[in-house]
């Protein structure tokens, strides 16, 4: 199966963007481009970008558009991005979305497919506060909905499970407020371009995955690109 373009997964913190993006990227054999993961990697490696991003992320705010765009452009220039990619957590502001349009055009990818994940706030809070991630492969678990077979250990590779610093209640509150203010307007932006596909992401992981795959098949069918 070929993607040959960008899939953008929009949605609030904890909506399941990472969980689904990882699966779809695997299915199409294209890179999963999570700007959150890239920033956490920069923090772990102690780079200049990581030093700037860490306090901003821990309080739940957004890293500047300039730093994000430089990071994304650099990543898109790598050879594994030639057959399309899945964006998770990017774009997050109208400025990032407009700049991404120009980049996709210049790389010959044309219009993206944009899926917007909607989840009620009580579920988001449970997903964020119950989340644990594998320190090796990044696989995500949830102590309420999808616990690992052995507490604290990844089923797939035995890696230690860790909690994110920005899943503390105060940071979660700020992340949700920042999403409403700065990222939610992107749904109108993409809807006005006729690109927005809405997904009820409050359902199970499998159901959401089926819905996203159905959207990809339908859109590809319409454009005859597969």
Contact residues toward ligand AP5 (CB under 6 A) are 11, 13-19, 35-36, 39, 56-57, 60-63, 68, 89-90, 92, 96, 127-128, 130-131, 140-142, 145-146, 166, 175, 204-205, 208
Catalytic residue among 22, 23, 92, 127: 92
Q: Which is nearer to ligand AP5, 214 or 226 (CB)?
A: 214
Any long-range contacts for 148-157 (C-beta under 8 Å, 24+ apart)? none
Q: Shortest Cβ distance from residue 226 to ligand AP5 (Å)?
A: 26
State how far the Cα of 15 lies from the Cα of 11, in Å rounded to an integer.
6
Q: Shortest Cβ distance from residue 209 to ligand AP5 (Å)?
A: 8
Q: Which is nearer to ligand AP5, 94 or 220 (CB)?
A: 94
Q: Which is nearer to ligand AP5, 2 or 128 (CB)?
A: 128
Catalytic residue among 164, 182, 203, 213: 164
Q: Which is nearer to ligand AP5, 83 or 95 (CB)?
A: 95
Q: Shortest Cβ distance from residue 145 to ligand AP5 (Å)?
A: 4
Q: Which is nearer to ligand AP5, 174 or 220 (CB)?
A: 174
- The answer, yes or no, to whether the previous bond of 14 is cis (omega within 30 of 0) is no
Q: Shortest Cβ distance from residue 191 to ligand AP5 (Å)?
A: 19
Return all residues near 16 (Cβ < 8 A) that are at least 6 apart: 117, 119, 127, 201, 205, 208
Q: Shortest Cβ distance from residue 223 to ligand AP5 (Å)?
A: 26
164 is catalytic: yes
Catalytic residue among 5, 17, 22, 127: 17
R_g of the chain, CA atoms, integer Å: 17
E strands of the chain, at which residues? 6-10, 32-34, 85-88, 113-118, 131-134, 140-142, 161-162, 196-200
Strand 161-162's sheet: what is its strand order?
140-142, 131-134, 161-162
Of 219, 182, 5, 170, nearest to 89 by C-alpha is: 182
C-beta nearest to ligand AP5: residue = 36
131 is catalytic: yes
Task: Tell me if 25 sits within 8 A of 32, measured CB to CB.
Answer: yes
The residues carrying an active-site annotation are 17, 92, 131, 164, 175
């Amino acid at each position: 199966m070929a993607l040959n373009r960008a899939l953008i997964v929009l949605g609030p913190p904890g909506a399941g963007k990472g969980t689904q993006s990882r699966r779809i990227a695997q299915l199409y054999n294209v890179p999963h481009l999570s700007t959150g993961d890239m920033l956490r990697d920069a923090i772990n490696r102690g780079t200049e970008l990581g030093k700037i991003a860490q306090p901003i992320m821990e309080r739940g705010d957004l890293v500047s558009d300039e730093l994000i765009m430089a990071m994304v452009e650099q990543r898109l220039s790598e050879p594994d991005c030639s057959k399309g990619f899945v964006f998770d957590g990017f774009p997050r502001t109208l400025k990032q979305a407009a700049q991404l349009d120009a980049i996709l055009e210049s790389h010959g990818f044309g219009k993206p497919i944009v899926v917007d994940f909607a989840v009620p706030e009580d579920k988001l809070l449970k997903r964020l506060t119950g989340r644990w991630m594998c320190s090796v492969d990044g696989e995500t678990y949830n102590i309420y909905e999808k616990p690992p077979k052995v507490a604290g250990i990844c089923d797939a590779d035995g890696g230690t499970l860790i909690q994110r610093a920005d899943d503390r209640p105060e940071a979660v509150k700020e992340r949700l407020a920042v999403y409403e203010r700065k990222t939610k307007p992107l749904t109108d932006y993409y809807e006005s371009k006729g690109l927005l596909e809405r997904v009820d992401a409050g359902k199970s992981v499998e159901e959401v995955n089926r819905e996203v795959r159905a959207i990809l098949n339908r859109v590809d069918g319409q454009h005859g690109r597969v």
